[in-house]
């Protein structure tokens, strides 16, 4: 038979245990979603809160930004190039009650949605866009994810495409294409230089043809340049119009 002092001790211990289990401490970045008899009641925290055992249940929710690595996805671009693309996703819970009530596992749901959205968005673009327009693609994916996860109380703050992996054949093809593009630009620059030089020569010839004295000076300069070189004897024709001014009597 239980004596009165011992019974009192048991009752006190039971009450103390109930009180201890009712006291919950939530950190600054945590919130507690409270259910009263199975129905949503309110969101509590941070700090010290009281949860009545049996009658109330609490689910902890972390409000910190989650960094999620999206696994590499096989993507076929619009120009039929097969690539593997992976990304990193940044999101956080902004409405704890929605994250618990509206979806079974918001972390898993966001991960699966990110993978399918990545394949869908990138599949609408060509390979060149994936390589050169990553910033724009990041914003497109982030906007789509943020809109679809809003019902779950989740805010997608950023999406970054990390790697676009190509097979060796495609890498060699892109290298050849880049080399051909560089050669094309070099030929265009060379042709433009030849055209500019030809235009300058035409202008110089036009100027010399209008001034006979300038043409004579240019002729004499050429003779001086040839004479200064170490070469054999050169027979150079001397046009009569160069010496006519000296033969005319004043």
| Annotated domain spans of the chain | 22-62, 66-166, 172-229
Domain at 66-166, CATH from 3.30.479.30, 3.40.50.2020, 3.30.2230.10, 3.40.140.10: 3.30.479.30
The pLDDT of residue 99 is above 90: yes
Question: Contact, 60 vs 77, CB < 8 A?
Answer: no
Q: Average of pLDDT values for 105-124?
A: 93
The residue with greater pLDDT, 170 or 63, is: 63
The whole-angstrom separation of Cα 160 and Cα 136 is 10
Least confident range from 16-30, 31-45, 54-68, 102-116: namely 16-30
Per the structure block, which two tokens stand in for 108? 């898993």
Residue 205 has pLDDT above 90, yes or no: no
State the average pLDDT over residues 208-220.
Answer: 61
**Rounded Cα gap, residues 38 and 100, in angstroms:** 13
Cα torsion 95, 96, 99, 100: sign: negative
85-99, 130-144, 178-192 — which one is most confidently predicted on average? 85-99
Structure-token match 């690595």, residue found:
69
User: 46-55, 132-141, 171-180, 187-196: which range is least confident on average?
Assistant: 171-180
User: Mean pLDDT, the chain, as a whole number?
Assistant: 81
pLDDT at 178 over 80: no
Percentage of the chain exceeding pLDDT 90: 41
For residue 177, the model assigns a pLDDT of 67
CA distances from 59 to 36, 52, 99, 229 (A): 12, 13, 11, 97
3-state secondary structure the chain: CCCHHHHHHHHHHHHHHHHHHHEEEECCCEEEEEEECCEEEEEECCEEEECCCCCEEEEEEECCCEEEEEEEEEEECCCCCEEEEEEEEEEEECCHHHHHHCCCCHHHHHHHHHHHHHHHHHCCCCHHHHHHCHHHHHHHHHHHHHHHHHHHCEEEEEEEEEEEECCHHHHHHHHHHHHHHHHHHHHHHHHHHHHHHHHHHHHHHHHHHHCHHHHHHHHHHHHHHHHHCCCCCCCCCCCHHHHHHHHCCC
Name which residue leads in pLDDT, 227 or 16: 16
Quote the pLDDT of residue 243: 55
CA angle 151, 157, 163 (to 5 degrees): 115
| Tens-place pLDDT, residues 117-140 | 999 999 898 888 888 888 999 999
Cα radius of gyration rounded to whole Å, the chain:
42
């Amino acid at each position: 038979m239980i004596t009165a002092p011992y019974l009192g001790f048991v009752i006190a211990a039971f009450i103390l245990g109930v009180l201890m289990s009712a006291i919950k401490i939530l950190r600054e970045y945590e919130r507690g979603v409270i259910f009263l008899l199975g129905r949503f009641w309110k969101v509590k925290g941070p700090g010290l809160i009281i949860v009545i055992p049996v009658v109330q249940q609490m689910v902890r929710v972390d409000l910190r930004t989650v960094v999620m690595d999206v696994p590499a996805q096989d993507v076929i671009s619009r120009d039929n190039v097969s690539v593997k693309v992976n990304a990193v996703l940044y999101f956080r819970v902004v409405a704890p009650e929605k994250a618990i009530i509206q979806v079974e596992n918001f972390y898993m749901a966001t991960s699966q949605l990110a993978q399918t959205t990545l394949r869908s968005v990138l599949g609408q673009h060509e390979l060149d866009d994936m390589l050169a327009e990553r910033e724009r693609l990041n914003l497109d994916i982030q906007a789509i994810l943020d809109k679809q996860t809003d019902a779950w109380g989740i805010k997608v703050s950023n999406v970054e495409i990390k790697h676009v992996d190509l097979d060796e054949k495609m890498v060699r093809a892109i290298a050849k294409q880049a080399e051909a593009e560089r050669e094309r630009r070099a030929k265009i620059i060379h042709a433009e230089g030849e055209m500019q030089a030809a235009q300058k020569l035409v202008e110089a010839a036009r100027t010399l043809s209008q001034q006979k004295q300038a043409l004579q000076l240019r002729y004499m300069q050429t003779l001086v340049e040839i004479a200064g070189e170490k070469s054999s004897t050169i027979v150079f024709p001397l046009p009569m119009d160069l010496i006519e001014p000296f033969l005319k009597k004043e």
